[in-house]
């Protein structure tokens, strides 16, 4: 049994330490917001947060995150920055097919937590590992800028 700190709760999972975190999250713990994309950590669809940092769950063995806080898109609604990012995604109609958007939102939220007022270069650097086959990159940047502006206004 492995204890996984997932979305603010401890989950006892009967899995091996080398099981990819993605499958433990989806198939064992039952959180299906995190998506399988490529299985090689290249597309970003499976992005989650480990201690607040974005990570690819398809290539992260569950044994490597024991004792660390893991957050998925399924629980981002309780995060104040995550709420703002999700609303910006809706306001700017980012999603087309929507498949990659959970990973995109997780990466954008991590960016805004570390760089609340990111430059275009910082946005591009943070989002480079998230692929959108529909090509919504300009809308993604717009949503990140909008979320940044809203977060600044909320602090004022």
pLDDT tens readout for residues 70-117: 999 999 999 999 999 999 999 999 999 989 999 999 999 999 999 999
Residues 6 or more apart whose CB falls under 8 angstroms from that of 7 comprise 31, 70, 71, 72, 74, 75
Assess whether 55 and 96 both reside in one domain. Answer: no
β-strand partners of 19: none
Assess whether 106 and 134 both reside in one domain. Answer: yes
Assess whether 67 and 113 both reside in one domain. Answer: no
- Kindly report the CATH number assigned to the domain that includes residue 64: 3.10.20.30
- CA 61 to the chain's CA centroid: 17
Assess whether 93 and 57 both reside in one domain. Answer: no
When divided into structural domains, the chain yields a total of: 2
Helix (H) or strand (E) segment spanning residue 105:
helix 101-114
The pTM (predicted TM-score) of the whole model is: 0.95
């Amino acid at each position: 049994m492995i204890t996984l700190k997932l979305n603010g709760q401890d989950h006892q999972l009967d899995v091996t330490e080398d099981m990819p975190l993605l499958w433990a999250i989806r198939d064992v713990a039952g959180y299906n917001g995190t998506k399988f994309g490529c299985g090689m950590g290249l597309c970003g669809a499976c992005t989650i947060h480990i201690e607040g940092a974005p990570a690819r769950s398809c290539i992260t063995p569950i044994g490597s995150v024991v004792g660390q806080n893991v957050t998925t898109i399924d629980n981002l609604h309780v995060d104040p920055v995550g709420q703002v990012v999700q609303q910006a995604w809706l306001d700017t109609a980012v999603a087309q097919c929507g498949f990659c958007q959970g990973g995109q939102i997780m990466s954008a939220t991590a960016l805004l937590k570390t760089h609340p007022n990111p430059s275009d270069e910082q946005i591009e650097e943070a989002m480079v590992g998230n692929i959108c086959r529909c090509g919504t990159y300009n809308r993604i940047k717009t949503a990140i800028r909008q979320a940044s502006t809203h977060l600044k206004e909320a602090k004022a």
